[in-house]
């Protein structure tokens, strides 16, 4: 195996106008540009983005920007998004999501568990089935300080996807209420009304459940084949420890990203280097800055599928009020043999 690291350089390190290859000055247009998919054996490590911004006078862009037609509606200058595989099979922007992690002894034991036990398996607290009946865990009702939205869920099982699909079936349901205690639509994770099999995808995105003040999780599993798990001392004669099942449920709440830039003052707070150039008059005509942004991008096994998705960094320029706007990626490319 040969491993090599090189610094990003040249034209390829710049965000370029998708409609005009080689054009790095994005001033006067509002493009959406993302990095290309990476081949196997290639890794992109971004440590920041160097910006050159020019205009006749940048001073009016220092305060928070609002829509001229709607004074209460923000009008961001630009936004940078990072798409990462946050959990197995679930791609989202880690800078624009808050993760509510339901896991561990405290969460599992605060709920009601039937035909199961909470055990430490491979160092991780896990719900394991007992006996031959249906294993059911109902969490406590979680009360949020403020109403939240849910747009994705990922769950972790203690079983490989290579396990025979019919070794166990399971389903997950999340019930929720609004601030007045009214019931909201359930999030029912199943396959067309049927329980999921062991090899099913362990994530669900594209949700739009809003105004959730409280939520409660129900996990149900039917075990058809015991696993290799054994104990030297069982709590009752002839009782089986069926199979390790649930390790965690991760709920993704969308939040505003710090990389949605609403003013040049906000940009300054995110930069390790920030220089404004003034002319002899009061105008500020040039800005050179280094925006601190950490992102490690790798190849995705899902990018070759229909509607494939991959890891990327995206620049969305939302205003045409710059005469010059250049954005250069800072970082390294790592290449290794396969």
What are the residue ranges spanned by the domains of the chain?
3-86+258-336, 97-254
pLDDT at 244 over 60: yes
The architecture of the domain spanning 97-254 is Sandwich (2.60)
Question: What digits encode the pLDDT tens for the residues 161-211?
Answer: 677 888 899 999 999 999 999 999 999 998 777 899 988 999 999 999 999
Tens of pLDDT along 81-105? 999 999 999 999 999 999 999 999 9
Q: What is the mean pLDDT of residues 67-71?
A: 89
Is residue 1 predicted with pLDDT exceeding 80? no
**φ, ψ for residue 84 (rounded to 5)?**
-130, 155
Percent of the chain having pLDDT more than 70? 93
Q: Is the pLDDT of residue 35 over 90?
A: yes
Which pLDDT value is given to residue 237?
47
Residue 214 pLDDT exceeds 50: yes
Q: Taking Cα atoms as reference points, which of 174, 180, 178 lies closest to residue 249?
A: 174
| 164 vs 239: which has the higher pLDDT | 164
Instruction: Give backbone dihedrals phi and psi of 231, rounded to 5 degrees, phi first.
Output: -125, 150
Backbone angles phi, psi at 237, to 5 degrees: -65, 135
pTM: 0.89
177: its two tokens: 């209420």
pLDDT at position 151 is: 96
Tell me: pLDDT of 335 over 80: yes
DSSP 40: T
What's the first-to-final CA gap in the chain, in angstroms? Answer: 7
Q: What is the pLDDT of residue 165?
A: 82
* Contact between residue 38 and residue 44 where contact means Cβ atoms under 8 Å apart: yes
Report pLDDT for 334.
95
pLDDT of 243:
85
Q: What percent of the chain has pLDDT over 90?
A: 78
Q: CA-to-CA distance for 24 and 18, rounded, in angstroms?
A: 10
Q: How far apart are CA 91 and CA 311, in angstroms?
A: 8
Residue with structure tokens 């992102």?
295
Three-class DSSP category at 187:
strand
Per-residue confidence band for 229, with pLDDT thresholds at 50, 70 and 90:
very low
Task: Quote the pLDDT of residue 306.
Answer: 67
Split at pLDDT 50, 70, 90, the class of 232 is: very low
Identify the residue with better confidence: 132 or 249: 249
Per-residue pLDDT averaged across 18-27, rounded? 95
Average model confidence (pLDDT) for the chain?
A: 91
Widest CA span in the chain: 90
Which tens digit of pLDDT belongs to each residue from 257-315?
Answer: 999 999 999 999 999 999 999 877 789 999 999 999 999 999 998 887 767 799 999 99
- pLDDT exceeds cutoff 70 at 231: no
**Rg (Cα) of the chain, in Å, rounded?**
25
The residue to which tokens 């991760």 are assigned: 250
Contacts of 14 (CB under 8 A, 6+ apart): 24, 326, 327, 328, 329
Element (H, E) at 147: strand 142-157
- What is the average pLDDT across 52-76? 94
Q: Distance from CA of residue 194 to its chain's centroid?
A: 27
φ, ψ of residue 165 to 5 degrees: the values are -55, -30
Sorting pLDDT into bands at 50, 70 and 90, what band is 233?
very low
């Amino acid at each position: 195996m040969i491993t090599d690291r090189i610094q990003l350089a040249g034209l390829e390190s710049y965000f370029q106008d998708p409609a005009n290859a080689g054009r790095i000055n994005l001033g006067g247009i509002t493009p959406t540009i993302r990095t290309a998919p990476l081949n196997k054996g290639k890794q992109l490590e971004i440590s920041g983005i160097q910006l050159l911004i020019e205009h006749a006078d940048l001073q009016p862009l220092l305060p928070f920007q609002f829509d001229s037609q709607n004074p209460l509606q923000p009008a961001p200058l630009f936004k940078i998004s990072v798409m990462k595989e946050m959990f197995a099979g679930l791609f989202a922007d880690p800078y624009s999501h808050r993760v509510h992690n339901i896991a561990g002894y405290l969460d599992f034991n605060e709920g009601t568990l039937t035909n199961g036990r909470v055990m430490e398996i491979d160092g991780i607290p896990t719900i394991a089935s007992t006996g031959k009946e249906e294993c059911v865990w109902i969490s406590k009702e979680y009360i949020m300080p403020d109403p939240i939205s849910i747009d994705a869920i990922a769950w972790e099982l203690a079983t490989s996807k290579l396990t025979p699909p019919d070794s166990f079936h399971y389903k997950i349901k999340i019930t929720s209420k609004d601030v007045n205690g009214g019931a909201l639509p359930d999030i029912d994770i199943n396959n067309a009304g049927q329980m999921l099999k062991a090899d099913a995808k362990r994530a669900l995105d594209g949700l739009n459940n809003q105004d959730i003040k409280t939520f409660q999780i129900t996990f149900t599993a039917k075990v058809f084949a015991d696993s290799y798990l054994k104990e030297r001392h069982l709590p009752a004669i002839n009782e089986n420890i069926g199979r390790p099942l649930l390790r965690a449920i991760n709920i993704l709440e969308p939040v505003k990203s710090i990389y949605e830039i609403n003013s040049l003052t906000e940009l300054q707070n995110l930069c390790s280097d920030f220089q404004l150039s003034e002319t002899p008059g009061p105008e500020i005509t040039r800005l050179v800055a280094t925006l601190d942004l950490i992102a490690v991008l790798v190849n995705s096994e899902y990018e070759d599928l229909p509607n494939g998705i991959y890891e990327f960094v995206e620049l969305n320029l939302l205003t045409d009020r710059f005469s010059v706007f250049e954005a250069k990626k800072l970082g390294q490319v790592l290449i290794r043999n396969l």
